[in-house]
Amino acid sequence: MIEKINSKTEITGWENRDIFSIRILALLKAYGTSYPFAVFYVQKNEDGELTAIISKLDGDYTISALQNADEEEIAHFLLVAGYSSILCSSFLNLFSKYDEGIVMKSDKKMEFSLGDATVDEFPKLMDLYNFIDYNSQDFKAWYVDISHRIRHGTAKAYTLNKDGDLISSGILSSIADGYSILSAVRTENEYRGCGWGSALVSYICSDVKGTVYLMRDEGMNEGFYKRLGFVDIGKWRMYK
């Protein structure tokens, strides 16, 4: 059975802490259950045990599911509800068309040197948005969401600056229960290959206590992240 939750307490029995559950739990912590655009669901088996948790932010769904989750019920629910995208583990076979990539994690704290660069942990979000160059993301929607998450301690932004220029960036886009998700890692073209991106990622990982997750496209940036202590742990799947 899939049902909408009306209180954070209805999800407290969920013990899984994969990258998908961290996205959901961080969203729940940031927005709660009172906003119409952020909605949360649980799936329970016949014994009343949680088998999946689901978040919906506008039309974008994230699913964290156990191996015994009812895939058929989840797929039917999503077809009836309608969706823009669905992010979940690759073991959930919901529909025939999807994109896939790699999930990585790191618990390591690597040594690093910032040299004559400095880290800004409270960068101007307009500057960060322009630096990351979101092609399809509306600035106002992005700004409202990320600033709200930062205020509620479920996200944090970082930039590396040198001689007054922003040269590298990274965002912990979801933070919950000592786990974080790293995204929006970028280094300005002229500064690539000089170790600045590695230094900033190492700084970010050292700034948090627990596990840092990330998603990458298959065949992209594998060596970069493995040198920084990340390991492949599975695959993400995106249905659109």
Specify the CATH class of 104-234 in words: alpha beta
The pTM for the full model equals: 0.96
In sequence order, what DSSP letters do the residues of 124-152 get, joined into one string?
A: -HHHHHHHHT-SSS-HHHHHHHHHHHHHT
Q: Give the model's pLDDT for residue 133.
A: 82
**Beta pairing partners, 61:** 56, 86
Report CA 231 to chain centroid distance, whole Å. Answer: 17
Q: Give the model's pLDDT for residue 136.
A: 78
- 110 by Cβ neighbours in 10 Å (0-12 / 13-18 / 19+) ranks as middle
Per-residue pLDDT tens for 55-100?
999 999 999 999 999 999 999 999 999 999 999 999 999 999 999 9
Could you list the pLDDT tens digit for every one of the 240 residues in the chain? 999 999 999 998 899 999 999 999 999 999 999 999 999 999 999 999 999 999 999 999 999 999 999 999 999 999 999 999 999 999 999 999 999 999 999 999 999 999 999 999 999 999 999 999 887 789 999 999 999 999 999 999 999 999 999 999 999 999 999 999 999 999 999 999 999 999 999 999 999 989 999 999 998 999 999 999 999 999 999 999
